[in-house]
């Protein structure tokens, strides 16, 4: 039974830790137990107003528009993490992989020169993390790598959020 719950715990922990990193207070906690009982809070759309209004760049996309895409994706992560079901670990893993693909598509729309590099890095890291979760499902012995993976994921999304704030 513990083995079948591992994927859910990993998915829930990853989604919540991801949200912590992108919505403000980054946390280095990797304890999966509290993650199952804590519901993340969606990032407010008003956060876009804190993004500097630098007009459009050479690509024609404003920083505020690019940051709106990031905010919408962060909110998708919140929504997905809130809908996870502990009785369906494989379904949770599938939803997380689908989320990774969606975020990758959303972030591919970001062309603003200031925001695109951080968004692409966050998207690639989320994709790598989804692959890691799948590998842990197949080989629970890889669970020891969780902290490193979560830290990399948090850092990449924190960097994307920081670009939008400053």
pLDDT value at residue 37: 33
Whether the pLDDT of residue 46 is over 80: the answer is no
Instruction: Write out 30-63 in H/E/C secondary structure.
Output: CCHHHHHHCCCCCCCHHHHHHCCCCCECCCCCEH
Has this prediction a pTM greater than 0.75?
no
Asked if residue 124 lies in contact with residue 100, where contact means CB atoms within 8 angstroms, the answer is no
Which element (helix H / strand E) includes 152?
helix 146-165
CA distance linking residue 38 with residue 22, whole number of Å? 16
Using 50, 70 and 90 to split pLDDT, how confident is the model at 52?
Answer: very low
pLDDT tens figures, 74-94: 888 778 878 877 788 788 888
């Amino acid at each position: 039974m513990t083995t079948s719950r591992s994927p859910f715990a990993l998915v829930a922990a990853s989604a919540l830790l991801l949200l912590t990193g992108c919505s403000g207070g980054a946390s280095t906690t990797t304890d999966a137990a509290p993650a199952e009982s804590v519901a993340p809070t969606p990032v407010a759309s008003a956060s876009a107003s804190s993004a500097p209004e630098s007009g459009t760049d050479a690509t024609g996309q404003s920083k505020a528009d690019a940051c709106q895409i990031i905010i919408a994706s962060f909110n998708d992560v919140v929504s997905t993490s809130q809908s996870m079901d502990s009785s369906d670990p494989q379904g949770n893993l599938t939803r997380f992989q689908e989320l990774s693909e969606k975020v990758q598509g959303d972030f591919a729309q970001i062309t603003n020169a200031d925001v695109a590099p951080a968004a692409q890095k966050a998207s690639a890291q989320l994709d790598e993390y989804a692959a890691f979760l799948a590998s842990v499902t197949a080989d629970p012995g890889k669970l020891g790598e969780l902290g490193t993976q979560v830290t990399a994921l948090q850092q990449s999304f924190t960097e994307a959020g920081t670009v939008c704030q400053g």
